[in-house]
Chain A
Amino acid sequence: MAIGELADGLTVNLDHVPRKYEGLDGTELAISESQERMAVVLDSADVQAFCEAAARENLNAKIVAFVTEEPRLRMEWRGDRIVDIARSFLNTNGVTQNAQVYIEAPDGDLNYRKLVPECLAGKPLAEAFRENLARLEVCGQRGLAERFDSSIGAATVLMPFAGKYQMTPEDAMVAKLPVDHGETDDATAMSYGYIPGIARFSPFHGAAYAVVESLSKLAVVGADPMKARLTFQEYFERLKDVPSRWGKPTAALLGALTAQLKLGLPAIGGKDSMSGSFENLDVPPTLVSFAVAMTKASKTKSAALQKAGSALVWFPLPETEGSMLPDWEKIPGYYKEILSRMENGDILSASVVKEGGVAAAAAKMAFGNRLGISMDRNMEDAATLFAPASGSIVAELREGAEFPASARKVGNVTEEASIVLGGVSMPVEELTKVWNSRLEKIFPNEAPEVPLSVDVPLWTERSGKAPAIHTARPQVFIPVFPGTNCEYDTARAFEKAGAKPEILVVKNLTAADIEETIVEMDKRIRQSQIVMFPGGFSGGDEPDGSGKFIATTFRNPRIAEAVADLLENRDGLMLGICNGFQALIKLGLVPYGKIVEPSENAPTLTFNTLGRHISKMGYTRVTSVKSPWFAGVEAGDVFAVPLSHGEGRFVADDATMAQLVANGQIATQYVDLSGAPSGNVQWNPNGSVCAVEGITSPDGRVLGKMGHSERKSENAYRNVPGEKDQRIFESGVAYFK
């Protein structure tokens, strides 16, 4: 357990370890570990301050051990000293075993990086091009990746999928540092490298190229790979006592070591697992290289093609013929050329060759903005197109840029969205479908089209309402429930807009905690001009529905009264985003403007039609500017807003819809690229009725919306085009001026 490693000499009292239920014995208490439990070493004088701080965060904290002079690990349970072991003995890590290693020589004729995949060999190029995209090793994984929130923190520089269609996967992830105030341009880039086929051919080469692939992936997003720090993940079969099995991790580590020493880039961490066997089956020899480098958000590049008229070029990786290894001496220069051409504006976008070869890399680059490529004659060769020349880079070169001597022409970027190869024209839309549909049954992207049953005209009339009492710096009350996670981003957005955010962590460990919280909430709401419900997963979106913690708490008579006072007597504002919107609608604050009993026909938010979480940028139109929250924009304005939710499907019957429309309460809608509300899952990803993204109370002072308008900052999501700032927070503050 983690406690045992904190100091050489320790006496642990297991009776003080909080337990979930009775009946655990000393051994069970001694060896249980968990990620949501943490042990810290404190000076005894600081314990009280620390435990009080923990209590404010709704956390249990308990003294369980003391550091002792004598270097022994001791544990006591019910007055019995059940563990008393010398640290020196524990630190031996047991008996050192011996093993012999035999590294089997790879057969260079089977160099995976040079071979056309068997399933494509001999096929006409255009047919192979299409089939390549549907291969399991190559196909799109959007349905998988979109389940993961990629924008929380408002610091994400690259969304996982780029372009206005969000169809080009990025090679690395880039995020700005999590500063709690102000703006920074400093960002981290992180990537991985590993291709099972190469490692099967040769674990040694597999590891060397895993390192290079991870570095190239940093280069294509504009980070300097020669300043990277690495960490490895090894995963191998059970080694038993068989020298040739030991040969695999040995060869892999030697390959990775060579890369580190030749490039001067260290692996400063790593983790291994040698349990990858089941009966006669073994995992492929796996060494995944993770690379991390500091970079600048403002210089970050995407993999999505930007502009018709550009040239698409391939920079083959410098390699040593006989050894089949990268040419270590030339690698730094290789990256330097890429980075300097990014710096001077020659390279507009770039991507790394992986499984699928240059062909798949180029196609995926075209998917994001749906541009075409007219492929060059010298690409009409299966090995050039399809061999996984991992770590090499394909780049989009600005029209008129000087052609690099080390590069080969792939083709020209065209306005017409087709890839033309050997006289055969393949529409990009269709290729995207081929690429996307392989895993459709496992990780779905498709859901039935939602009919837009009610027409929602733009509402341009602004509510003239103004508060009786003006204030230059309104106070915003932001409650944090267990599971809320957007309060930092929300508070920052309000602070930037000139408001004074007040975060309160809801404490609920005991009945007394809850009572204290209710009293405090009541007080703070009455001091505030705005109440904001931030996003997150209050209560983990359980029991089987979202926003229940918030809604239940706000139905407390004392709190409900404070809210009524805010809205009815003090002309205050309320805002709820995502989980906050779910809570507002469940309370009735939208669309009714007050807390009402739940009823059978009330509109609500429920599970996305896809049956899974979605995270992507959504295009939304401001349909009504009645609300003061939209004072800074015009009806019809379209924004790109981060979406991330599992229960965002707005549901209302036609009668309710008609009422909302007639009163200008449909605030925002999901739209397609033409700016028209859409029932298609690509643009309306949760399947909302009439593409509704946000609604307001009758007079517009309470706004609930799904899109995370608070997740905005300089250079965020720069690989997805569109205006991202809806000026909601600024408008809310301006209302009180």
Chain B
Amino acid sequence: MGLRAPEMGEHMSDVIRVFVEKKPGFDVEAQHIKADLVENLGIRSLTDLKLLNRYDVSGLSRQDFEKALTMVFSEPNVDNVYHETYNAPEGYQVFAMEYLPGQYDQRADSAAQCVQLLTQGERPQVLTAKVIAVSGKISQEEMEKIQTYLVNPVESRLASLEKPESLDVQAEVPGNVQRVEGFIRWDRQRLESYYASMGFAMSLEDLEFCRDYFRDEENRDPSVTELRVIDTYWSDHCRHTTFSTRLTEIRIEEGKQKAVTDAIEDALKLYFATREELYGASTEKPVSLMDMAVIGAKSLRKKGLVQDLDISDEINACSIEVPVTVDGKTEPWLVQFKNETHNHPTEIEPFGGAATCLGGAIRDPLSGRAYVYQAMRVTGSGDPTVPFEKTLKGKLPSRKITTGAAQGYSSYGNQIGLATGQVTELYDSGYVAKRMEIGAVIGASPKSNVVREVPAPGDVIVLLGGSTGRDGIGGATGSSKAHTEKSVEVCGAEVQKGNPPTERKIQRLFRDPQVSRLIKR
């Protein structure tokens, strides 16, 4: 994908370009970036920083643009405007940065929507960039340092200062989905080299398992899509491969204090006793972390101690049934809660990673038709006060991660409109290995709003909400892959930005009992 090259004899560009700069006193963001660069990055020679939003607009008449200028793109009491070109004052160095193509840009999207509200015509195309002008005795090397600090290559890049001829995106018609020719006849060695080239999250053994399946059950080679779908489906993130691993042997070290070791031994015995009580003495059920995680609830439920649990085939949040009294009248409600992590996405792109952590956490109770009303955020970070120079190669600085993540999560939560009741960050040097970003949410709805039925042949699946783009790809498998110094450079397509107004529309829709009762699952 790229910008279309101008064709010979084509009309002059229909792209209108405008630069918008906050007036002194309103330029809070510019002042904060400046302080950040001076204090945290150590660019002591920087004396001033100007920040401009650059909008490239097409599909809009000059007349409509003039109207939009003072309503949408700028406000005369707050902004200065420069048409077509921005000439920085003497002594300033200028560069621009923009999101990678295809990355969701709320600023551009809102600008286009807002202009359309004004014109009531077709929605124009809008691209945005941030232009930064700095003054002071700043060396070439320092300029590069500034750019590297401000541009996170997994989501953005330096932008050209030239105005494009057109904003149309040249999309190539994709080729047909390839079949993996000969796959079912490959030996381990051939599979291994294929495995190495694909960047799967699943193991080589899993891939062999796929080969056997397609060979023995399907009698055909798989498509690339099939292998990708299987990989996504099986990856740690969705199905806990590690948690399902069979633990063939559990040994406990004999420690200094017998009573402490005994306590762990007792816990293990308790686990095995509970297994026996639930599954019988001769069970084949593998001993696994997953089993240890869920067996407590199973056992207590069998003993009748979990009367309020709401059981269903739906895979979503924890759900309990509770009586709720409204104006003296008591009715059954379902309370649903869910915790979610986005450690890996937040580590490489803090804003989007943390925003979609919350979005993802909301999604489960929401799909269970609960209205999500509160969120909690528990995060783990390395010391954010350590100087920038101590950042490990291949990592973003802890400070950038933690402030970017706070901005992303809060921006999403504030926009979707749920009350974040508690926010705590745990500081531990271990979280330099990878940040911890947990969102936990709680939702509820009258039980009568929730109908649960087993899908039957002929039922229809309706897809609701935002459109599909490349940014949602690999979210599941990315977090399962080993993380190395290269990660910051190669994971680009995996970064997702949230679109909270759209998820909120779904919240509104599902809150209507007339609608929620139509949903079988």
Contacts and interface: CB of A to CB of B under 8 A. Distances in A.
B300 interface: yes
B438 interface: yes
A447 to B, nearest CB: 10
A148 B341 contact: no
Given A190-B442, A611-B29, A277 B428 contact: no
A179 B445 CA distance: 8
The number of chain B residues touching the other chain, given as a range, is 35 or more
A194 B468 contact: no
Given A37-B466, A67-B458, A99-B246, A136 B427 contact: yes
A10 to B, nearest CB: 7
B93 interface: no
B509 A89 contact: no
B135 interface: no
B78 interface: yes
Contacts of A18: 463, 467-468
Contacts of A272: 240, 242-243, 289, 293
B417 to A, nearest CB: 3
Counting chain B CB atoms within 10 Å of each CB, which of A21, A65, A237 scores highest? A21
Contacts of B515: 50, 53
Counting chain B CB atoms within 10 Å of each CB, which of A10, A256, A482 scores highest? A482
Interface string B297-311: 101110001101100
B152 to A, nearest CB: 17
Contacts of B344: 273, 275
Contact of B460 (A44, A482, A545): A44
Interface stretch (A76-84, A359-367, A389-397, A462-470): A76-84
Interface in A98-115: 98-109
B464 A59 contact: yes
B459 A152 contact: no
Interface stretch (B9-17, B137-145, B223-231): B223-231
Interface in A151-173: 151-153, 155-156, 158, 160, 170, 172-173
A40 B473 contact: no
Contacts of A662: none
B232 interface: yes
Interface stretch (A1-9, A330-338, A623-631): A1-9
Contact of A283 (B230, B385, B433): B433
B421 A17 contact: no
A262 to B, nearest CB: 9
B236 A274 contact: yes
A261 B436 CA distance: 28
B255 A267 contact: no
B467 A60 contact: yes
Counting chain B CB atoms within 10 Å of each CB, which of A17, A34, A89 scores highest? A34
Nearest to A271: B339
B66 interface: no
B45 interface: no
A24 B469 contact: yes
Interface in A545-573: 545, 548-549, 551-553, 555-556
Contact of A39 (B217, B378, B438, B464): B464
Contacts of A190: 337, 374, 376, 421-422, 440, 442
A173 B376 contact: yes
Counting chain B CB atoms within 10 Å of each CB, which of A40, A200, A260, A556 scores highest? A40
A508 B115 CA distance: 11
Contacts of B341: 233, 235, 271, 273
Interface in B358-398: 359-360, 362-363, 366-367, 371, 373-378, 380, 383-385, 392, 394-395
B465 A42 contact: no
A316 to B, nearest CB: 19
B249 A204 contact: no
A96 interface: yes
B280 to A, nearest CB: 19
27 contacts: A4-B229, A21-B469, A27-B177, A41-B461, A53-B512, A58-B505, A64-B463, A68-B457, A77-B225, A96-B246, A104-B255, A148-B413, A149-B419, A152-B418, A173-B374, A175-B374, A196-B380, A229-B320, A254-B267, A261-B270, A281-B430, A283-B380, A283-B428, A322-B262, A508-B116, A600-B77, A651-B26
Given A38-B363, A75-B225, A109-B256, 14 more contacts: A6-B461, A22-B169, A29-B468, A41-B461, A93-B234, A153-B418, A173-B419, A186-B325, A261-B299, A276-B433, A292-B442, A438-B385, A508-B117, A644-B414
- Leading 6 A-B pairs by shortest Cβ distance: A105-B255, A173-B421, A322-B259, A485-B417, A35-B359, A23-B171
